[in-house]
């Protein structure tokens, strides 16, 4: 069954998909019809949301759910680690998106990327232990 951490990661990724595509649609229409010049300023946020928010987060949520579970408890690693991935990644991404809208906020981008890096390191450690085969146990 799908764990709560995966559910929240995948829900968040769907929200980022919707927001990113909404912004992308505005940018596309801006090319043909002059809606508002500010729309072009949303282009970096559109990239970040599409790649990190949608694709990367959906892959992480699905991998956390579907990879082989450990034979001992906790089956998917410590619960706090799973929740840390979700909270750190999404908090970091919000800071990163804000930084793309206000170019003067250099430290906001660094802070956001640091949180995302920590989240991905925790994810890599958890997943590393689950890249296994149980064929020898049968």
Tell me which residues touch another protein (CB under 8 A): 1-4, 7, 10-11, 14, 17-18, 21-22, 24-26, 28-29, 31-33, 50-51, 54-55, 58, 62, 66
Contact yes or no for 61/52 (Cβ under 8 A): no
Nearer Cβ to another protein (37/104): 37
Euclidean distance between CA atoms 101 and 132, whole angstroms:
42
Minimum CB separation of residue 71 from another protein in Å reads 20
Minimum CB separation of residue 114 from another protein in Å reads 25
Tokens 């750190």 -> residue: 88
In sign, the C-alpha dihedral spanning 43, 119, 90, 105 is negative
Nearer Cβ to another protein (28/121): 28
Nearer Cβ to another protein (55/127): 55
Minimum CB separation of residue 117 from another protein in Å reads 22
Contact yes or no for 96/66 (Cβ under 8 A): no
Euclidean distance between CA atoms 129 and 28, whole angstroms:
43
């Amino acid at each position: 069954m799908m764990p709560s951490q995966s559910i929240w990661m995948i829900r968040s990724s769907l929200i980022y998909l919707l927001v990113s595509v909404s912004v992308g649609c505005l940018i596309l229409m801006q090319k043909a019809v002059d809606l508002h010049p500010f729309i072009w300023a949303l282009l970096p946020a559109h990239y970040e949301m599409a790649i990190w928010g949608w694709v990367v987060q959906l892959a992480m949520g699905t991998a956390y759910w579907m990879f082989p579970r450990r034979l001992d408890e906790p089956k998917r690693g410590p619960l706090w680690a799973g929740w840390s991935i979700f909270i750190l990644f999404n908090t970091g991404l919000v800071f990163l998106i804000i930084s793309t809208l206000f170019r003067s906020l250099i430290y906001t981008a660094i802070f956001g990327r640091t949180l995302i890096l920590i989240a991905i390191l925790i994810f890599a450690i958890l997943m590393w232990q689950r890249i296994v085969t149980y064929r020898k146990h049968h």
